Amino acid sequence: MTAAENPTPQGLAAAGPAATAGPEALPDLVVFRNVTKVFGHGAGARVAVQDVSFVVPDLPERGELVTIVGPSGCGKSTLLRLIAGLEPHFPPTSGQVLVFGRPVQGPDASRGMVDQKYSLLPHLTVLDNIAFGLKLRGVGRHERKARALEWMHKVGLEGSERKYPSELSGGMQQRVAIAATLILGPRILLMDEPFGALDPKIRLRMQELLIQLWKEQQGTVFLVTHSVEEALYLGDQVLRMIDAPGRLVETLQVPRPDDPPETLRREAWFAASVQELRRRLEEGAPAAGDLPQRRAQRPSQGSS
Ligand code: ADP
Ligand code: MG
Q: Is the CB of 245 under 6 A from ligand 1?
A: no
CA–CA separation, 257 and 51 (whole Å): 33
Instruction: Identify the pLDDT of residue 256.
Output: 77
Shortest-distance Cα residue to atom 14 of ligand 1: 73
Please check the confidence at residue 239 and state whether its pLDDT lies above 70: yes
Q: Is the CB of 39 under 6 A from ligand 1?
A: yes
Cβ contact 192:116 at 8 Å: yes
In degrees, rounded to 5, the angle at the alpha carbon of residue 237 between the alpha carbons of residues 232 and 243 is 85
Q: Is the CB of 46 under 6 A from ligand 1?
A: yes
Mean residue pLDDT of the chain comes to 87
Q: Is the CB of 72 under 6 A from ligand 1?
A: yes
Cβ contact 131:166 at 8 Å: no
Which CA distances in Å does 230 have to 20, 50, 77, 185, 237? 30, 26, 17, 24, 12
Instruction: Identify the pLDDT of residue 297.
Output: 55
Q: What is the pTM of this model?
A: 0.87
Which residues 6+ apart lie within 8 Å of 294 measured at CB? 255, 257, 267, 269, 270
| Domain chopping of the chain, boundaries | 1-110+186-290, 120-185
CATH number of 1-110+186-290: 3.40.50.300
Instruction: Identify the pLDDT of residue 30.
Output: 96
Cβ contact 256:235 at 8 Å: yes
Q: Which of 35, 46, 248 to mutate to test the pocket of ligand 1 (most atoms within 8 A of CB)?
A: 46
CA–centroid distance, 48 to ligand 1, in Å, is 6
Mean pLDDT calculated for residue range 140-163: 94
Q: Is the CB of 57 under 6 A from ligand 1?
A: no
- 50-64 residue pLDDT tens: 999 999 998 877 778
Instruction: Identify the pLDDT of residue 207.
Output: 84
Q: How many CB atoms lie within 10 A of CB 169?
A: 11
Instruction: Identify the pLDDT of residue 2.
Output: 39
Which residues 6+ apart lie within 8 Å of 147 measured at CB? 131, 134, 139, 183
Ligand nearest to the CA of 192: 2
